[in-house]
């Protein structure tokens, strides 16, 4: 009799664990196709120190240009710099 109760308790415990696993699997976000600069192998994330005020002014200006972000601006400025250096 005690063995039967123990077996039933184990079965109930196993079902609970299985239900928890199913809930965790359901909670995982669906994978979407990677897009953007972060996953694009042609892009490399870099860092630079600039003054806070300069960054804030740039952010304000970029708010008026929704099709351009900070990365685009830095890319444009560095490309222009390279072109000027190579033509001199």
Q: How confident is the model over 29-60, as pLDDT tens digits?
A: 677 676 789 999 999 999 999 999 999 999 99
Helix (H) or strand (E) holding 11: helix 2-27
Sign of CA dihedral 66, 71, 73, 75: negative
Examine the pLDDT at 86 and tell me if it is beyond 80: yes
What local confidence, expressed as pLDDT, does residue 26 receive? 67
pTM of the model: 0.57
65 and 73 in contact (C-beta within 8 Å)? no
Closest to 78 in 3D by CA, of 43, 53, 52, 51:
43
Return d(Cα 19, Cα 46) in angstroms, integer: 44
Sign of CA dihedral 36, 38, 44, 49: positive
């Amino acid at each position: 009799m005690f063995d039967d109760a123990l077996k039933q308790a184990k079965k109930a415990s196993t079902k609970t664990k299985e239900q928890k696993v199913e809930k965790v699997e359901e909670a995982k976000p669906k994978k979407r196709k990677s897009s953007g600069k972060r996953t694009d192998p042609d892009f490399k994330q870099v860092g630079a120190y600039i003054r806070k005020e300069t960054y804030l002014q740039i952010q304000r200006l970029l708010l008026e240009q929704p099709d351009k972000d900070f990365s685009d601006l830095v890319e444009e400025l560095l490309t222009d710099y390279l072109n000027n250096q190579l033509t001199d």
